[in-house]
Amino acid sequence: MNAIFLAQTDTTAGFLSLDSARLNLIKGRDPRQKILRAARDLRTLKTLARVPAAHKNLIRRSRKITFLFPNGEAVRIASGDHKSFFARQSWFYSTSANLSGREFDLNIAENLADTITRDSRGFFAAPASAIYKLSRAKIKKLR
């Protein structure tokens, strides 16, 4: 079984793991619900999804943006202090550190996590990342 980490991501306090079904379970969601992946860098993202040529520059320059690729994968490249979390692993499933449909509660999040990773920012809830759906030539903002 893979560990559930509580960490401050580049967007909000989040749970990270290599086990998407377990993340859904602790959040009280459908175990089959897809979860976005946070990738260490552009090279890692390219192993998870094919990047349409028309959007390569946008993706390379993006910060705090999740992209939904034609293969159904949702991927965000980690940035800022959060990037240091990826020293040993190139990607993680990532989701907000709250129960499904509820506000962030640090006590609940700490109880649900196997490992708590604090940095100088502490833990805080913030708006979710923007999501853009990509096709071969078009882009559509979902959130």
CA distance 97 to 62: 23
CB 92 within 8 A of CB 74: no
Query: Across all residues in the chain, what is the average pLDDT?
Result: 89
Parent domain of 91: 5-141
Q: Does residue 25 surpass a pLDDT of 80? A: yes
pLDDT at 1: 57
The per-residue pLDDT for range 100-133, each reduced to its tens digit, is 888 888 899 999 999 888 877 778 888 778 999 9
Angstrom distances, CA of residue 82 to CA of 9, 24, 85: 5, 22, 6
Question: Domain of 94: which CATH number?
Answer: 3.90.870.10
Domains identified in the chain, total number: 1
pTM: 0.87
CA distance 45 to 43: 5
